[in-house]
Structure 1
Amino acid sequence: MALAQEHPSWVRRTINRMITDSTAPGKPSFRVYPTMGYSPETSVELGLSSMLLFQAKNDTLNRLSEVTAFTFFTLESQYGIWFDNFIYGDKDKWALLGRTRFQRFPLLYYGSGPATSGDNPAVVDAMYIQARQRLLRKLVKNFFVGPQVDFQNLYNTRFKQPTEGQPFELPLGHEGSTSLGLGVSVVYDNRHNVLNVRKGLFSELSFLSYRKSWASRYNFDGITFDNRVFRPINRRDVLAWQVYGSFMWGNVPFNMKSLLGGDMIMRGFYQGRYRDNNLVSTQLEYRMLPFGFSKRIGGTVFAAAGAVAPKLGQLNVRQFVYAAGVGLRYLMFPKKDIFLRADMGLTSEGPGFYIITGEAF
């Protein structure tokens, strides 16, 4: 027994390596760990995640950069590989922000507009690829400008009408579509740790144009703005606020419309429960990271509101839907101040549950 205690099993050693952050401040940290989660879009989800965290030139005064890879499969017959990158150069001279997705992701389609029913959705079974990158150059302190590209391809698409109720009018792009957008992004960002912001401001205004002349199936355009404010209340607690808008015009395929719901915007609603050309939403969250009585366990409370509409002038307060919820946090990497989050969002249509690394915004 004493020998076993002195030499832990390989299982215990592996678990300790995954959850123990032994790297010194400023030094790169790489972790590979299994994941298990749940959300309304995926049901139970099993996967494997890897995360590389570093600061340019190992300088703790530089922003924390993150590169993650995530492969998963779910009980809803979904599977895929995701890559995300938030890379900042020395003294923030440049930044490369982006995401890459390859997945088979059957999703529910409730129709387009602010008054769609939550009953009898269609099922869209398809393969999906996305590659979006923004290369930003610092002009002055915390202010960045640069080009961006967004490629999305929905293929091998099957649009399955509901077995009960009225069938949907087939939306534009129901047979699949390719979209290639080029544009520009303007960003103000003084956050130091993008995975868990305790103080700072992030504000982005983005424009993308999708054209047949550069490989898109349809001509359309989009503008998004994303504003996030983080204010420390004390050494542990943070008040976070986000205002988000997405505005599309032209011949917008259904999968490129603005989506309300999911693990980041309007938690509790299925991602895409509401979709249309135009969207506005806001959310407020109080974060206790961690609780005063614990070194690793924390929690949050949050509330959100949002609406969609076919035209910008048709957005009004009567169309807003609301969500609220609570969450638990576990400090996975103490030296990098990164938490695993488990959220429960409550809506008029029921609850939604999420287990994910990093905050919603």
Structure 2
Amino acid sequence: MRILTLSIAILLCGMSTVRAQRQDLELIRGNDTLAYTYVPFDPSEMERSAAPSESAAVKRGFFHRIIDYFDRANEDRTFEKKIDFSIIGGPSYSSTTKLGLGLMAVGLYRTDRTDSLTPPSNVSIFAAGSITGFYSVGIRGNTIFRHDLNRLNYKLQFYSEPSEFWGVGYYAGAHHESDNFLENKASVDLRWTHRIARNLYAGAMVNFAYVTGSKFDDDKRSYLLDPSYPAAAVRYMNTEYVNTGIGLLAEYDTRDFQTNAYRGLYLSLDGTIFPKALNTCGGYTLWRVEFTAASYHRVWRDGIVAVELRGEFNSAHTPWPFMARMGGDIRMRGYYEGRYTDLDMMVAQVELRQRIWRRIGAVVWAGAGNVFPRFSEFRWSQTLPNYGVGLRWEFKKRVNIRVDYGFGRRTSGLVLQINEAF
């Protein structure tokens, strides 16, 4: 009887203090551990929440709802929703496409919402256009399957862009005048990997591209000379190509988040074969080898140093649309993409990323790059410098909108993009 009376007293005492109780619990499922805090529900709160407050009675205006939408956009809701989508749009500008307008939908999701240790997957659907006549539509992302055993990276894109072409090789980019032309490209890139050991992945990839170049100036057609032929044997490259490749890749990856790592190491090596039966590249079977090495370290509070080295090497007779192009919005930012074009390219960059206040951050970076037809013709004197500054705004959890302004040798340019450069 004493035990029963004591039990009832303890139960009543617990009910009277339920609002003050907090329970720290752990959910353990296999090797997956999720720690969380549970606050018991107080029935009296229902009555207070049922009564409409004065603020709730006043309908919020349109602009207030927009502010609230973006204010909550970076909350991690991937455990609650099948996919957490947010949409952003507005004006854009780059030295390549000039003033334009872009619209993007960004989604984060988990293939297994009981797996709290695997980072979320992401997908971006984008469309853009500019006053130069440029337009682009596409989708890209990476899907990380349960327990990170398999990964699928993909990008599908079509664009039409008034472009400039200086020719092939360092000398052409440094000394030639540019030729204006219209480039159209449809491309598909799929990469699948399977984890074969801790942090080690291996897999296969498939890519397809259809490229056309038109409206070249007739007096500058010499820019399309095939660099793999001796000067005495003039051979012009075509202005329309279809190219299909299949390849293998290996990755070592300890990054905590693929598109915005705070820590970890990433090593990648892949090789692609473009069989002559699946391309229109002059009857040749082509190949390409690429490697990437990147590391990420926290150096102080909210300060990350990221370092990357990347190389791209193509076989002889590779046509101009598929050669290595320096510049753009990822590496050597500030250089017009394709001004320096050749069979091979090596690029290095180091970047300091610092969170400044809440969801706002800034970066500074420095880098260097070189294009060359083969290793025997690599020249240190032709190495191009690169540096710049940028601002960051966390649109979604670990997904940044970035504005970068880069500088190079007698060039500079503005970049507006989503996700970190590397």
Verify same fold: TM over 0.5. Answer: yes
Match of 1:71 among 127, 139, 145: 127
Q: How does 1:166-205 map to 2 (within 5 A)?
A: 168-171=222-225, 173-205=237-269
Pairing 1:150–2:203 present? no
8 Å CA contact 1:248, 1:257 repeated in 2: yes
8 Å CA contact 2:224, 2:320 repeated in 1: no
Give 1:204 shift: 0.8
One-letter identity of the residue aligned with 1:104: S
Aligned to 2:37: none
Alpha-carbon distance in 2 for matches of 1:215, 1:309: 24
One-letter identity of the residue aligned with 1:340: I
5+ long unaligned stretches in structure 1: none
3-state SS in 1 of match to 2:336 = coil
Bigger relative CO (Cα 8 Å, ≥ 6 apart): 1
5+ long unaligned stretches in structure 2: 1-53, 227-236
Closer/same/farther in 2, CA of residues 110 and 162 from structure 1, 3 Å limit: farther
Q: Larger strand proportion, structure 1 or 2?
A: 1
Aligned to 2:376: 313
Pairing 1:239–2:305 present? yes
TM-score, normalising length: structure 2: 0.79
8 Å CA contact 1:121, 1:162 repeated in 2: no
Tell which structure's C-alpha radius of gyration is larger: 2
Give 1:16 shift: 3.1
Alpha-carbon distance in 1 for matches of 2:71, 2:318: 44
8 Å CA contact 1:203, 1:228 repeated in 2: yes
Aligned to 2:13: none
Aligned to 2:195: 138
Closer/same/farther in 2, CA of residues 112 and 189 from structure 1, 3 Å limit: same
Aligned to 1:94: 150
One-letter identity of the residue aligned with 1:29: D
Give 1:158 shift: 0.7
TM-score, normalising length: structure 1: 0.91
Give 1:202 shift: 1.2
Match of 1:324 among 377, 384, 387: 387
8 Å CA contact 1:122, 1:159 repeated in 2: no
Alpha-carbon distance in 1 for matches of 2:247, 2:56: 60
8 Å CA contact 1:48, 1:72 repeated in 2: yes
8 Å CA contact 1:56, 1:62 repeated in 2: no
Residues 17-26 or 314-323, more deviating: 17-26
8 Å CA contact 2:161, 2:182 repeated in 1: yes
Aligned to 1:124: 181
Q: How does 1:5-84 map to 2 (within 5 A)?
A: 6-21=58-73, 22-24=75-77, 26-27=79-80, 28-58=83-113, 59-84=115-140
3-state SS in 1 of match to 2:147 = helix
Aligned to 1:270: 336
Q: Larger helix proportion, structure 1 or 2?
A: 2
8 Å CA contact 2:309, 2:347 repeated in 1: yes
Alpha-carbon distance in 1 for matches of 2:310, 2:108: 27
Give 1:18 shift: 4.2
Alpha-carbon distance in 1 for matches of 2:221, 2:204: 41
One-letter identity of the residue aligned with 1:24: R
RMSD, matched Cα: 2.1
Aligned to 1:357: 418
Give 1:338 shift: 2.2
3-state SS in 2 of match to 1:91 = helix
8 Å CA contact 2:241, 2:279 repeated in 1: no
Alpha-carbon distance in 2 for matches of 1:321, 1:23: 41
Alpha-carbon distance in 1 for matches of 2:178, 2:154: 31
Give 1:82 shift: 1.8
One-letter identity of the residue aligned with 1:300: V
Match of 1:228 among 277, 280, 294: 294
Aligned to 2:326: 260
8 Å CA contact 2:328, 2:335 repeated in 1: yes
Alpha-carbon distance in 1 for matches of 2:65, 2:408: 42
One-letter identity of the residue aligned with 1:305: A
Aligned to 1:298: 361
Q: Deviations over 1:107-144 (max 9, x none)?
A: 21111111223663112313210101011111011111
